[in-house]
């Protein structure tokens, strides 16, 4: 074991992970003049040279269809990851279905994420106060609102203020203009309106105006492939190069952190990592350690960092590490809309995702007790004249010219509504360490437990009925009965919004960190990924991960400055 270039680069803070949380923490600290060493378990990754821009599906192996090697299709940006990472298994309790998406690459999952960037509201932060379920967050919306502004401005989010109760406004001048709605989205809007349901422009971390070194979107090529021009936000084209440019950031890739290390008094003194290339084990000292390895990876790391002072794992005196895991609920319903058949074709690529979505509209009904589930959901809308790939939409018969005609009549007529809803934490959804199985690096693996509660199932049932009603208003003929919610709901982890494994709170008794992501047990150990979420509102977690990381790293930076001043004044005295 050896110390890392101690003499050349005198970092104060180690950040584990380079995705949304880690990169924002590193960016914020380095901008404030603090030196940061970032450890990334995957390989280096450069979207400028590696992104398959303007590649046709038909030119890829298997028409770019998803496989176990590339779950979301050949061109998906995810490197060395997916539902399975070679040499890094995870296990599930008997009867548990759970999927854990990991990306082993610089920038982590920000390279391929959906870029949906919706703010949580006061309503979202105080669910327990309202209905007695789950946990409240340890701050108010107004504490976090200015940080949402700063994050949205830095990241670049397109959308508009709608005034809807599910969508808190951004300050003036923060949001970039959203792209125009497409025809099927306008049809959904008209149909939903008849049911008293409003649609809104989706907020997405996609530039419609240039920013820093990043270009505005040119409305072609799927964001999920990554974005070489930097329009679709990923940390590898923004926060990481910007942090590097300060001279205060160094990154070690292929560095799989094995443990967070403590001294004889139980104080965090650094981390130990395995170099995946040569299996060398290295101990790195640090004044402060920030975990941002993803909710479940950070929890795994804490649980694997046992010591005399922390026998149940580090920062786990509450016993809450690995508990309270929440994903978003996922389900969906789609249909062929006959009225869209033969509509005039134009370029519907847009920013390659929905320009319009359906925010949660049921707050008032829930307040009146009219719904049998406590938390909301939204619908994402999938539609359009998409680039043909390995799947052709439609029910066909026959052959020849008449068959081709059928394909053309179906083209651009499909509308799919994807439900994404809030899940409540429950005692059956958690992770622990599987002591029997280690990954290639000798690290015991995570074992997942999962069971949906009636809150999620009732919500999904409501969502399916609503989706059917909207589609039927659009003229769809849905003959098959709706599936049961138990069948329709996607597996735990499948929406890739797993959060809550190191939740923040007001008290060390039932939470792992305070509102700044500082662990109650170790003042120089922070968590800045989605593990700290106290609840999991239906609105996609990444914007809030980044917002919290910016706020909390700013708080840490000030603390480090104060400590430095104290040391300085001591020296001078």
Site for other proteins in 46-85 (CB under 8 A): 49-52, 54-63, 65, 67-70, 74-75, 79-82, 85
Residue 71 or 169: the one with the smaller Cβ distance to other proteins is 71
From the centroid of its chain, how far is CA 402? 44
Shortest Å, Cβ 63 to other proteins: 5
DSSP structure class, residue 499: B
Taking alpha carbons only, the member of 400, 408, 405 closest to residue 340 is 408
Pairing status of strand 36-39 against strand 249-252: parallel
Residue 441 is a binding residue for other proteins (CB under 8 A): no
326 binds other proteins (CB under 8 A): no
For tokens 């809007």, what's the residue? 189
Query: Could you tell me which residues come within 8 angstroms of residue 62 by beta carbon, excluding any fewer than 6 positions away?
Result: 74, 390
Q: Which of 20, 118, 157, 181 binds other proteins (CB under 8 A)?
A: 181
CB of 349 to other proteins, least distance (A): 3
Binding mask 84-113 toward other proteins (x if CB under 8 A, else -) reads -xx---------------------------
Q: Does the CA dihedral 160-233-120-488 come out positive or negative?
A: positive
The encoded tokens of residue 508 equal 């060390």
Tell me: does residue 269 bind other proteins (CB under 8 A): no
# chain residues binding other proteins, by CB under 8 A: 81
Short-list 360, 304, 327, 319, CA closest to 426: 327
How far from 229 is each of 105, 204, 464, CA to CA, in Å? 19, 16, 38
Least distance to other proteins, CB of residue 470, Å = 11
Give whichever of 86 and 146 is closer to other proteins, judged by the CB atom. 86
- Contact assessment for residue 419 and residue 379, using Cβ atoms and an 8 Å cutoff: yes
Nearest to 515 by CA among 455, 569, 543, 556: 556
Which region among 2-10, 278-286, 440-448, 468-476 touches other proteins (by CB under 8 A)?
468-476
Q: Tell me if 444 contacts other proteins by CB under 8 A.
A: no
Question: Whole-number minimum distance, CB 337 to other proteins, in Å?
Answer: 9
Measured in degrees and rounded to the nearest 5, phi and psi for residue 258 equal -100, -40
Please tell me whether residue 146 binds other proteins under the rule CB under 8 A: no
Q: Which CB, 54 or 487, lies closer to other proteins?
A: 54
Q: Going residue by residue from 187 to 206, which x/- string records binding to other proteins, judged by CB under 8 A? A: x--xx-xx------------
DSSP letter for each residue of 175-189: SBPPPPPPHHHHHHH
Which lies closer to other proteins via its Cβ, residue 177 or residue 319?
177
The window from 149-157, 185-193, 488-496, 539-547 that contacts other proteins (CB under 8 A) reads 185-193
Nearer to other proteins, 82 or 168 (CB): 82
C-alpha 262/C-alpha 307 separation (Å) is: 8
Does residue 267 bind other proteins (CB under 8 A)?
Answer: no
Q: Which segment (21-29, 89-97, 264-272, 339-347) binds other proteins by CB under 8 A?
A: 339-347
| Nearest distance in Å: CB 461, other proteins | 26
Interactions with other proteins, residue window 394-413 (CB under 8 A): 395-401, 403-404, 407-408, 411
Task: Please name which of 569, 572, 561, 511 lies closest in space to residue 287, comparing C-alpha atoms.
Answer: 561
CB of 12 to other proteins, least distance (A): 33
What does each C-alpha distance from 251 to 9, 39, 515 come to in angstroms? Answer: 11, 6, 27
* Residues between 19 and 48 with contacts to other proteins, criterion CB under 8 A: 43
Of 469-498, binders to other proteins (CB under 8 A) are 473-475
Give residues 352-391 in contact with other proteins (rule: CB under 8 A). 385-391
- The candidate with the shortest Cα–Cα distance to 207, out of 181, 182, 167, 175, is 175
Q: Is 564 in the site for other proteins (CB under 8 A)?
A: no
Cα atoms in the 13 Å half-sphere on the side-chain side of 360: 31
Q: Which of 9, 83, 141, 219 binds other proteins (CB under 8 A)?
A: 219
What is the DSSP annotation of 208-235?
A: SS-BTTBPPP-S-S-GGG--TTS-B--G
């Amino acid at each position: 074991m050896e110390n890392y270039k101690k003499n050349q680069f005198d970092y104060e803070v180690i950040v584990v992970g380079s995705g949304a949380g880690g990169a924002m923490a590193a960016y914020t600290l380095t901008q404030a003049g603090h030196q940061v060493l970032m450890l990334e378990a995957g390989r280096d990754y450069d979207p400028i040279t590696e992104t398959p821009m303007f590649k046709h599906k038909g030119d890829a192996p298997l028409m770019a269809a998803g496989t176990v090697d590339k779950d979301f299709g050949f061109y998906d940006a995810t490197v060395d990851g997916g539902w399975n990472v070679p040499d890094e298994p995870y296990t599930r309790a008997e009867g548990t279905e759970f999927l854990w998406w990991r990306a082993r690459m610089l920038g982590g999952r920000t390279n391929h994420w959906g870029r949906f960037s919706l703010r949580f509201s006061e309503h979202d932060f105080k669910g327990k106060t309202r209905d007695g379920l789950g946990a409240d967050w340890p701050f108010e919306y107004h504490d976090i609102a200015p940080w949402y502004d700063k994050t949205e401005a830095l990241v670049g989010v397109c959308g508009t203020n709608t005034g809807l109760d599910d969508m808190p406004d951004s300050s003036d001048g923060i949001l970039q203009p959203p792209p125009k709605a497409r025809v099927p989205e306008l049809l959904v809007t008209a149909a939903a309106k008849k049911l008293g349901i409003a649609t809104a422009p989706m907020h997405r971390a996609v530039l419609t105006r240039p920013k820093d070194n990043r270009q505005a979107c040119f409305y072609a090529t799927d964001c999920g492939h990554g974005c070489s021009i930097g329009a679709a936000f990923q940390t590898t084209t923004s926060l990481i190069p910007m942090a590097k440019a300060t001279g205060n950031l160094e990154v070690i890739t292929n560095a799989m952190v094995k443990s967070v290390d403590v001294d004889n008094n139980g104080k965090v003194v650094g981390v130990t990592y395995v170099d995946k290339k040569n299996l060398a084990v290295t101990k790195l000292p640090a004044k402060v350690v920030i975990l941002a390895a993803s909710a479940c990876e950070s929890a795994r790391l804490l649980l694997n960092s046992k010591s005399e002072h922390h026998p149940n794992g580090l920062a786990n005196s509450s016993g809450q590490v690995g508990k309270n895991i929440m994903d978003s609920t996922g389900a969906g319903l789609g249909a062929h809309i006959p009225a869209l058949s033969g509509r005039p074709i134009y370029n519907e690529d847009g920013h390659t995702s929905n320009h319009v979505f359906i925010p949660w509209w049921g707050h008032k009904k829930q307040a009146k007790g009219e719904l049998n589930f406590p938390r909301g959901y939204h619908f994402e809308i999938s539609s359009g004249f998409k680039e043909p790939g390995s799947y052709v939409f439609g029910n066909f018969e026959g052959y020849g010219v008449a068959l081709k005609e059928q394909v053309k009549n179906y083209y651009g007529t499909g509308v799919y509504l994807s439900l994404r809803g809030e899940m409540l934490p429950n005692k059956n959804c958690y992770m622990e360490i599987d002591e029997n199985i280690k990954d290639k690096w000798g690290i015991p693996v995570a074992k997942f437990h999962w069971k949906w509660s009636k809150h999620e199932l009732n919500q999904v049932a409501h969502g399916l009925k609503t989706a059917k009603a909207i589609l039927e208003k659009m003229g769809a003929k849905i003959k098959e009965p709706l599936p049961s919610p138990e069948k329709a709901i996607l597996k735990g982890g499948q929406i890739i919004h797993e959060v809550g494994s190191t939740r923040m709170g007001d008290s060390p008794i039932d939470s792992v960190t305070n509102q700044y992501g500082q662990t109650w047990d170790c003042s120089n150990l922070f968590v800045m990924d989605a593990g700290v979420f106290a609840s999991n509102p239906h609105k996609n977690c990444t914007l809030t991960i980044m917002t919290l990381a910016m706020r909390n790293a700013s708080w840490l930076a000030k603390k480090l400055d104060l400590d430095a001043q104290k040391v300085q004044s001591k020296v001078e005295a």
